[in-house]
Structure 1
Amino acid sequence: MRPRRSRPWPPRSLADAQPTTAFEWIGGEPRVRELVDRFYDLMDLEPAYVRLRAAHGASLESARDKLFWFLCGWLGGPDHYISRFGHPRLRARHLPFRIGIAERDEWLACMAQAMTETGVDPQLQARLAESFAGTADWMRNVGG
């Protein structure tokens, strides 16, 4: 008979498990909501994001929900956005808004600040920043 080993809790396989999606890595819906809320709060608070804030109209509530729903699915979690609106068609949905280099850079700076302030893991933050930069650049619809 083998001696009984004490087992660590949680089991080693769970404790050492790496997240399989960015959604898990960031911490699921509560942390995505925290990130999105900080992102939009910064638009209201920081003069550096005044152009970005102005593009969103009087209320940010609809934008908060839509970005939250979108990011959940984009990060590998539930497809809340798609279940409500269908395919995101990001570029087409943003064509009515003037998006040039300055607007792109404001969006990226605001998101970077929100990720830092909400404590997104620096390694995940770097990966997300790279993906956000590619998407934000693709969204540009005016030169300069």
Structure 2
Amino acid sequence: MSTFYSEIGGLETIRTIVERFYEGVASDELLRPMYPEEDLGPAAERLTLFLAQYWGGPTTYSDTRGHPRLRMRHAPYQVTPEAKEHWLAHFRAGLDAAGLPPDQDAQFWEYVTHAAQFMINTLE
């Protein structure tokens, strides 16, 4: 059975997206403080595994971390509309780096824009 994960090129494509995303986060004065680990590598690996599982790849994320509980995991941080826009800008760069066909890019982008909106937990 074909999955979106396999159609976009699997883990290699997800890694490309996430690596470019975190390159942006690393120098983003608004977002970087939301990643308390000095090394962004573990956060990048978690996002990679989450996205791989979400799109039909291996269940490694849930196998090692349980249910994603995204809002709960992000609750300690002030996720504002401005933070959402920064996050989306870096994710857009990741998708651009992956060079997906327009229909796949649009499907991925639709998911992340909805997810980013869902994560807003404060308007200040």
Whole-Å Cα distance in 2 between the matches of residues 120 and 78 of structure 1? Answer: 20
* Unmatched 5+ stretches in structure 1: 1-18
Partner of 1:56: 35
Whole-Å Cα distance in 1 between the matches of residues 43 and 51 of structure 2? Answer: 12
SS of equivalent to 1:51: coil
* Unmatched 5+ stretches in structure 2: none
Higher alpha-carbon Rg:
1
Partner of 1:30: 12
Partner of 1:4: none
Equivalent position amino acid for 1:103 in 2: A
Residues 34 and 77 in structure 2, CA contact (< 8 A), matched pair in contact too: yes
SS of equivalent to 2:30: helix
TM-score, normalisation: structure 2: 0.90
SS of equivalent to 2:68: coil
Whole-Å Cα distance in 1 between the matches of residues 32 and 62 of structure 2? Answer: 25
Equivalences, count:
123
SS of equivalent to 2:46: helix
Partner of 2:100: 120
More relative contact order, 1 or 2 (CA 8 Å, 6+ apart): 2
TM-score, normalisation: structure 1: 0.78
